[in-house]
Amino acid sequence: MTRQPHDQFAKQYLSELLTPHGQVEVSRELTSEVRQVDIWFLPTASKSTAAQEIRLLGQMASTACLLEPFRNATGIMAVRNCLLKLFALYSDLQRKARREQNPISETDLPCLWILSPSCSGQLLKGFGAKLDNSGNWVKGVYFLPEWFNTALVAINQLPPTEETLWLRILGRDRTQSQAINELLALPDRHPKRRNILEILANWRIKIDKIEESEDLTEDDRELIMNLSPAYLRWREETLEQGREQGKEQGNLDGQRLMVENLLAARFGTVDLELSRTIEPLMQLPIKDRTQVLLNLSNLSRQELLERFGDSRSD
């Protein structure tokens, strides 16, 4: 039940972490078939910057790569499908190189990182995946034989350190719960903390929406439990931010600014149409308005306009 929300979360989450360090393309389509890779990344920032800011994930993304995150433990066919995507991308890149008469070398080919909550011993053995003996990679990162350019990351085996935090948030059960608690313990001014909290809160909101229409699975309930601390902290900080803005700029003006900021965060910009929703939102009782704003990620632009758009013409 949580697969689609997890896919959306994982793509948004990895994009948020990687965008400052290069070009991110979500759900890149491959021409060989109707296939998509979850994340296609091309680094532009320096390796040292990425490694410093997002640590192990930055080390992985120091060269062009595909990232395939899984909510459940990866199986044999899932790994094979990921490899098919990698080889399909190689074919695309080789065709492009021939068209442009610009030969592509082995070092130019991207690698594949399969991010799994856990990896069975049978899976690792079957694909010949082994730990790196050079000391450059932490425990839990298993590399397939050289020419596959692929590694399986067993998230539950990663050491619980700051180095691995951003990957462990993609884990399950206690691994994920501990990582979220570590995220909450980061200083308020940490450059990633606020945005990641919001992404986690939005994931929790999406799961809540599923609960309204159908029964939750055990996995859904576990996920809600793991995400609840992040959601509650994000909600608390969002409301506090609004209160502070109200104090600084006059209560009504500050509340209006908070509405504008949340709309801009959700839709990218507040154009003329969206600006017409601000006054109807301001007319709501503060409790109702807060609830709408906290659930803004579940509203499409059209739904928001239908509910709160001012129909007056220019």
| DSSP assigned state of 145 | P
Structure-block tokens of residue 294? 């906290």
Q: Which residues contact 247 (CB under 8 A, 6 or more apart)?
A: 254
- The answer, yes or no, to whether residue 224 has pLDDT greater than 90, is no
Of the pLDDT bands very low, low, confident and very high (cuts 50, 70, 90), residue 313 is very low
Tokens representing residue 248 in the block = 């600084």
Q: Which pLDDT belongs to residue 228?
A: 86
* Residue in 60, 68, 56, 58 with CA at minimum distance from that of residue 164: 56
pLDDT confidence of 309, banded at 50, 70, 90?
A: confident
Contacting residues for 230 by C-beta, under 8 A, at least 6 apart = 180, 183, 184, 197, 200, 201, 204
Q: Quick one: pLDDT at residue 314?
A: 44
pLDDT of residue 312: 46
What is the per-residue pLDDT for 109?
Answer: 95
CA distance 70 to 210: 20
How would residue 142 be classed by pLDDT, with cut points 50, 70 and 90?
very high
pLDDT in tens, 293-303: 877 777 888 88
Mean pLDDT of the chain: 86
**Tens digits of per-residue pLDDT, 9-59?**
888 899 989 988 888 888 777 665 547 889 999 998 666 677 788 999 999
More confident residue, 204 or 122: 122
Which pair of structure tokens corresponds to residue 270?
């507040």
Identify residue 113 by its one-letter amino acid code. W
Burial of 243 (0-12, 13-18, 19+ CB in 10 A): middle
> Cα–chain-centroid distance for residue 173?
18
Question: Once rounded to an integer, what is the mean pLDDT over residues 92-117?
Answer: 92
Q: What percentage of the chain carries pLDDT values higher than 90?
A: 43
Q: How far apart are CA 292 and CA 299, in angstroms?
A: 9
Least confident of 179-183, 249-253, 303-307: 249-253
DSSP summary character for residue 214: S
pLDDT above 60 (res 86) = yes
**Cα(39)–Cα(66) distance, rounded to whole angstroms?**
6
Write out pLDDT tens, residues 268-288: 678 888 899 999 998 888 778
174, 180, 184, 190: CA torsion to nearest 10: 140
User: How far is 80 from 91, CA to CA, in rounded Å?
Assistant: 17
Binning the chain into helix, strand and coil, the percentages to the nearest 5 are 60, 10, 25
User: Measured in whole angstroms, how far is the alpha carbon of residue 109 from the centre of its chain?
Assistant: 24
pLDDT at 140: 98
* Alpha-carbon dihedral 8, 231, 183, 226, rounded to 10 degrees: -80
CA torsion, points 24, 162, 50, 187, in degrees to nearest 10? 90
Give the pLDDT of residue 32.
Answer: 55
Q: How many residues does the chain have?
A: 314
pLDDT band at 186 (very low <50, low <70, confident <90, very high): very high
Place of tokens 């790569």: 65
110: three-class secondary structure by DSSP: coil
For the chain, what is the radius of gyration of the CA atoms? Answer: 22
pLDDT of residue 249 exceeding 60, the answer is no
| Pair 184, 229: CB distance under 8 Å | yes
- What is the CA 213 to chain-centroid distance, rounded? 25
pLDDT higher than 80, residue 240: no
